Structure formats: C-alpha cells, structure tokens
C-alpha cells in the first residue's frame, strides 16, 4: 500500500494523469469490476490528497489547501458486473457479533477513542452487524412497538390505490440482489403499469433470523405510503416458499450508481438531493420512525429526477424512545450507535452529514485506510475529519454541525427537528413547499427509452437463484405471516 501511495504521490507531483490512472488500474485484478476500480481510484486519490495537503479538523475549522483531483471520469463507466456492495451488516446477520467488551464498558466516546488508541479495542470481524432488538436490553421488539394499523395488502399510492392480483404480474429482468433474495422488474398485464417485486426466500429468512426484520419492513412501508420521497408499497404476498413485496418502480436506479459515474456532484445538485432526503426524514420522524440506514445505495432516482428512499429493513418505530440495536453501514454509523448509548432521530441527521460530504467529495469523511470498520469507528468517535478547500463555507458549516459527536448538540436534534436544518444557510434558496409538491426542476433526469428501460441498473440476470424448498424442520418454525396475501 505504501509503495503504491508513494508512486501516486510522485505521479501527482509530476502532474502525470496517465501515470496515476495506470497505477490505480494496475492494483486491480482481472476479477475486479469497473465499479470497484472506480471506487478504488477515488479512494486512493482521496487518501493521497490528505497526505499531500496541510489539513485541520472541525475543532478549529482549519481547511485543507487546494486539492489536486485528477480527472478519472473516463474510468467511471457503467458496468455489467457486480457493483460494490457496502451492506456489510446485511451480509453477515448470521454472525451477529457485538463490539469488543472493552469498548462497551467505556462511558463516553472520548474514553473509547483513548482506549482504542492504546490498543484496548482490537479489530474484530470487519463485517459488523446488529443485535436483534429483542434481548439484552436492546430496546422493544417488533411486537412491543405501537405500529400503525396495516392497510389492505394491495393499496398504496404506488399502485394507484388499486389492488393488484399477483396472477396479473409479468416477470421481467432482475435489477437487484441480496443475501435473502432478489428484486425483479414486473408489470401488470392488464394495464402495463411497471413495479418492482422484492422476492425473499422464507427458508433463508427463518434460518437467517430475519423474521422480525422483514415483518418490520412491511409495517414501515405501510406507514410511509403517502410520503412522496419514500418508495411506496403496493402489495405484500406469499406462497409456500417465498415472500413478495410489490413496490412502485423507480426507474433512475441508485444514487450510488450515478455518484460512481460522476465521482462527485456540484453543490447545487447536492443541495437538491439532500433536501429530498431531509423531507423524507421529516415525514418519518413525525411518525416516530427512525431510518438508520442512509447511504447512496438506498436512494433511488425517479423519472423526474427526484430521490426516493428505499430499503426499510433497518427502520424502526420508536416513538419518543431510544433503540439500542447496532445496525447500518459502518461509514454512516453515528457515535451513539457505535457506543450503544441509544439511537434517536439524531442518528439519521448524522447520516445526512455523511451523505452531504460523500456527495461533494466522492468518499465518506471517516473512511478507513485499511478497510477495517473499527478504524472508521475510532475516527467517528474522535469527531475529527478533513474538509477539502473546494467545499464552500456554508457546506462545511452544515457538515460540522451535523457531525457533532454529542447527539444533543447535533443540528436537528432540538425540539424543532428538521426545521433547524432547513433554516441553515446551506439550504438558502430552497423553496420547501415547492419541493414537497415536486415543482422544482431536478438537476438531472434519467434517460428512459421505454417504460421497461432498466439501463440505469446493473445486470443481475445471471444472479437469479430459485427459492429453495422449505425444509420440514424450518417449516415447523415458520410464522403465520398473517399480513401477507396468499397466492
């Protein structure tokens, strides 16, 4: 790594862009996807930039010198291979490791940071995940939560308020995959309306102890049906082998995919996208729901170029209480989540600060040089991060105020909630009422050739695996799934 970094530093000093790109590409293997190569180049470039420039941290708001950012847009092309997946938590829910006990015994983030610097908190399995929220004092289980009543299975604004019989659905391409199933584009044979169908194996869900998560996601989706910035639920179905969530089709693909192509966005674009996210948070928090899994991969672009929040597997209805489950992506986890001090809406606003930074810079502020999430956690607990000089003062200020280690001092954590963030000068010029009514022009609109166009998604056709039969011993443990319509 140090040899590669030194070579890159020399390349930067000599101004040889061709050498930079060649060195980055040489570090990749034949198996590395173009998505992964683009992410590698962006990460290494960011790290070398930090080594070459005098930088400061948020305590005194010292800004970095003018950075040298090579143009690597030619490398950031759409691929047909597997994209980078940062869902470490979802990929290892079977293991469910806890943070090191030394870290758990420490009372404050400052103590934790000092302890980890002295080597008390050794790095563990890099793929961290969460507790299940129903034991060890980690907060109320799904059955204990006061969730809103379920609407009929087939309703929802995404489906035009009409029930869609499963038998009318025509299956098309696979547009997403996960540990427990796939997402497929489907259409209604009667009217041609396009939807996204999330297909999950019952056997995998039971064996992976994901019963509560999928049930929780179904309830949360019902609660956010009327939010224009959240993916709407159309129907929930089941058969002997699988569970199905029918949702509105969002054709623009992941924001992460667009970010990977462009590297970073200008401030006006970031302002628009994060304003979309803030309105989604305002809607969720008003219903007592915290999201807990913000990242570009979970934000989809609709046909008008607006964002819709997707994947509510980690969202939770807490009302005015706290939840103590550890979940989410390490790069986006708030200090109080890491320390199990109780998660509130303030953790979502921490994620908003990370998102603003990543969309402006192209990488997260607490990115580990080694890939070890505990390095990321140490940096997050310290509250120290570097801001490149090209970020405006307004953008830097809102990032600093959102990334406060103490959640009670974090922008948006007060009684006015999202209104505090809306009034920040970074969002000056945003007409919030017009945005909520979707009357503002989006900075980008996806190019769509036809209603079934999936060009904004990666090709996962070869990843489809039929749902395995449910073993007898697993079938005996299956819940009733009463809220899911049988087909």
Alpha-carbon distance 139 to 134, whole Å? 7
- Per-position DSSP letters for 63-115, written without gaps between them: PPPPP-----GGG----SSPPP---HHHHTTTT-PPPPHHHHH--SHHHHHHH
Segment (H or E) for 275:
helix 267-286
Overall residue count recorded for the chain in this entry? 487
- Angstrom CA distances, 473 to 94, 180, 204, 215, 244, stand at 18, 19, 13, 21, 22
- Per-position DSSP letters for 126-149, written without gaps between them: SS-----SSSTT----GGGS-PPP
SS3 sequence of 20-64:
HHHHHHHCCCCCCCHHHHHHHHHHHHHHHHHHHCCCCCCCCCCCC
The number of CA neighbours under 13 Å toward the Cβ of 448 is 19
Across the strands, what pairs with 181? 178, 200
User: At residue 154, what are phi and psi to the nearest 5 degrees?
Assistant: -95, 5
- Angstrom CA distances, 246 to 219, 284, 299, stand at 14, 21, 18
Alpha-carbon distance 332 to 327, whole Å? 10
CA 27 to chain centre: 27
Query: Does 59 qualify as catalytic in the annotation?
Result: no
| Residue 241 known to bind ligand | no
Alpha-carbon distance 207 to 179, whole Å? 12
DSSP conformation class of 486: E
The set of long-range contacts for 323-326, using a CB threshold of 8 Å and a minimum separation of 24, is 323/133, 323/138, 323/139, 323/140, 323/290, 324/131, 324/133, 324/137, 324/138, 324/139, 325/130, 325/131, 325/132, 325/133, 325/138, 325/139, 326/98, 326/99, 326/128, 326/129, 326/130, 326/131
Number of H helices, E strands in the chain: 17, 10
Residue 116's closest CA among 368, 355, 298? Answer: 368
Annotated active-site residue in 188, 222, 260, 293:
293
Which parts are annotated binding residues?
198
Q: Catalytic amino acids? A: 293
Which parts are annotated binding residues for ATP?
198
């Amino acid at each position: 790594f140090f040899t590669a970094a030194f070579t890159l530093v020399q390349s930067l000093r000599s101004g040889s862009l061709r050498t930079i790109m060649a060195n980055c590409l040489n570090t990749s293997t034949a198996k590395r996807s173009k998505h992964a190569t683009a992410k590698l180049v962006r990460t290494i470039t960011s790290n070398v930039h930090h080594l070459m420039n005098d930088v400061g941290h948020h305590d005194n708001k010292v800004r970095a010198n003018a950075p040298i950012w090579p143009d690597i847009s030619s490398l950031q092309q759409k691929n047909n291979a597997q994209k980078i997946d940062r869902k470490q938590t979802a990929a290892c829910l079977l293991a469910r490791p806890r943070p090191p006990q030394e870290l758990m015994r420490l009372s404050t983030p400052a103590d934790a940071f000092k302890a980890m610097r002295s080597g008390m908190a050794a790095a563990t399995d890099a793929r961290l995940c969460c507790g299940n929220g129903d034991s060890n004092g980690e907060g109320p289980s799904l059955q204990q939560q006061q969730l809103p009543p379920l609407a009929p299975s087939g309703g929802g604004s995404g489906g035009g308020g009409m029930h869609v019989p499963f038998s009318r659905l025509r299956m098309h391409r696979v547009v997403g995959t996960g540990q427990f199933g796939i997402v497929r584009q489907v259409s209604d044979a009667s009217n041609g309306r396009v939807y996204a169908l999330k297909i999950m194996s019952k056997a995998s869900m039971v064996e992976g102890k994901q019963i509560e998560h999928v049930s929780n996601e179904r309830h949360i989706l019902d609660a956010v049906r009327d939010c224009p910035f959240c993916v709407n639920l159309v129907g929930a179905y089941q058969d002997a082998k699988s569970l199905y969530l029918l949702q509105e089709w969002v054709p623009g693909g992941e924001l992460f995919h667009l970010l990977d192509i462009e590297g970073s966005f200008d401030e006006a674009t970031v302002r628009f996208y994060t304003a979309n996210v803030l309105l989604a948070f305002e809607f969720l928090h008003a219903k007592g729901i915290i999201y807990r899994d913000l990242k570009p991969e979970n934000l989809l672009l609709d046909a008008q170029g607006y964002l819709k929040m997707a994947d509510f597997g980690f969202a939770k209805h807490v009302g005015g209480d706290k939840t103590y489950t550890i979940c989410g992506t390490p790069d986006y986890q708030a200090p109080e989540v890491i320390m199990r001090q109780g998660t509130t809406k303030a953790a979502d606003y921490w994620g908003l600060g990370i998102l603003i930074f990543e969309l402006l810079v192209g990488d997260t502020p607490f990115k580990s040089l080694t890939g070890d999430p505990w390095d990321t956690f140490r940096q997050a607990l310290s509250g120290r991060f570097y801001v490149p000089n090209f970020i405006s003062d307004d953008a830097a200020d809102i990032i600093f105020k959102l990334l406060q280690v103490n959640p009670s001092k974090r922008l948006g954590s007060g009684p006015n909630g999202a209104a505090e963030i809306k009034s920040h000068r970074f969002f000056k010029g945003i007409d919030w009422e017009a945005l909520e009514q979707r009357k503002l022009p989006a900075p980008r609109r996806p190019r769509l050739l036809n209603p079934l166009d999936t060009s904004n998604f990666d090709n996962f056709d070869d990843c489809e695996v039929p749902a395995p039969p449910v073993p007898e011993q697993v079938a005996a443990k299956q819940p009733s799934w009463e809220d899911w319509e049988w087909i």
